[in-house]
Structure 1
Amino acid sequence: MFEGGANPMEADDYMDQVETHLTSMDVTDDHVKIILATYKFSKDAKLWWKSVTNQYKVEDMSWQMFKELFYEKYFLVTKRLELRDQFNGLIQGNMSVTEYKNKFTSLSRFVPEMMSNEVNKTWNFISGLHYQMRPLITAQYLKVYSKAVEKALILEGEAKDINAGNEQ
């Protein structure tokens, strides 16, 4: 169900779930996609959709136009730009590698052009790693994201072992 409301992440999650379901069901007709996507609308979202159907000829609406109207209403451009800026400024800091990777993955959907290929994705991940870890991974010139994550996790584990040894 999607009720609408003020949380843009819920709107984005809803749209992501809908698109996943539509793909798995092999739905290609835009009108059918829109019917299925709006079927689970309630409260504010249902009222909004009713107003859209009064303004537009929904039968001829493209899926892309539906998504644009949906995001215009529930996921404002300013919020998307804010999340893009969060991604651009993302650094590991005190986060574990796993926490950093999860945050990186969560925010990366707002910068698809920066994730367009494996090398860019990997470089963006490495560039936000802790300053002590970054040169050790950069020196290996890793081009595959999963390998960079794996190396970062290994280095983090080794650092913990060293710190534990120093404490003893």
Structure 2
Amino acid sequence: MPPRRNIRRENPEPTTQTVEESVTQPIPSPPPPPPLVDREIVKLFLGQKPPVFDGMGEPARAESWMRSVKPIFAILGCNDRERLTCVTYQLTEAADFWWDTRMKTMPREQAAGMTWVGFKTEIYNKYVPKSYRKEKASEFYNLTQGRMTVTEYDRALSSITRYALDQDDTDEKLAEKFRGGLRPEIRM
């Protein structure tokens, strides 16, 4: 004879809630829908012929792409949801596949609440690695005029200032960095 299995049966506790009580309790209302995206804004955005981003190339390409769509949003006065919708139209190839996968793999609440700032963070984390940003910050701190003309030195410094977040917040700090990197005979 096979051994008996210990099957434990528990009696569920009877509920004390009456039918009347369950009917009179208020049902929580669903969260408000996200703001609608104005289709006219999307058409105007696409009419500006913004560049596409394929996710290939150097981190500087991703930064340039993000910077190129920023003024279009400023001119159109887009809200956060419109920015996110418009910019995702401009993702192609590897970047489009990455974003589609990213939206599927992130928690539903996070995906539903994705903002423009969140999108920018995702793009920078994926396509502009922290190691690249640190390298550029180091380049900023170590940049000197050397054999460059003053104009070339100024342009080089301006192009990497965004990586030195503690140095680009005042004109005085930028001027001090500029002066400190000039050749000694010019600095005087």
- TM-score band by shorter chain is 0.7 to 0.9
Following TM superposition, where does structure 1 have runs of at least 4 consecutive aligned residues deviating by more than 4 angstroms?
none
**2:82 matched to which residue of 1?**
32
- TM-score w.r.t. the length of structure 1 is 0.75
Superposed CA RMSD in Å reads 1.3
Using the alignment, how far apart are the partners of 1:17 and 1:112 within structure 2? 21
Aligned counterpart for 2:132 among listed residues 59, 75, 79: 79
CA contact (8 A) 1:22 1:33 kept: yes
CA contact (8 A) 1:87 1:107 kept: yes
Using the alignment, how far apart are the partners of 1:35 and 1:53 within structure 2? 13
1:100 to partner: Cα distance: 0.6
- TM-score w.r.t. the length of structure 2 is 0.68
Aligned counterpart for 1:103 among listed residues 134, 156, 160: 156
CA contact (8 A) 1:3 1:43 kept: yes
Identify the structure with the greater helix proportion: 1
**1:140 matched to which residue of 2?**
none
1:59 to partner: Cα distance: 3.6
Instruction: Deviation per CA, 1:20-61: give whole Å up to 9, x if none.
Output: 22122222x222111111211111111111112212343411
CA contact (8 A) 1:4 1:74 kept: yes
1:118 to partner: Cα distance: 1.0
| Residues 58-77 of structure 1 aligned to structure 2 (within 5 Å) | 58-77=111-130
Using the alignment, how far apart are the partners of 1:31 and 1:53 within structure 2? 15
Q: Give the number of equivalent residue pairs.
A: 134
Aligned counterpart for 1:117 among listed residues 138, 150, 170: 170
CA contact (8 A) 1:30 1:62 kept: yes
Using the alignment, how far apart are the partners of 1:26 and 1:113 within structure 2? 29
Gaps of 5+ in 1: 137-168
**1:133 matched to which residue of 2?**
186
Percent identity reads: 27
Bigger CA radius of gyration: 2
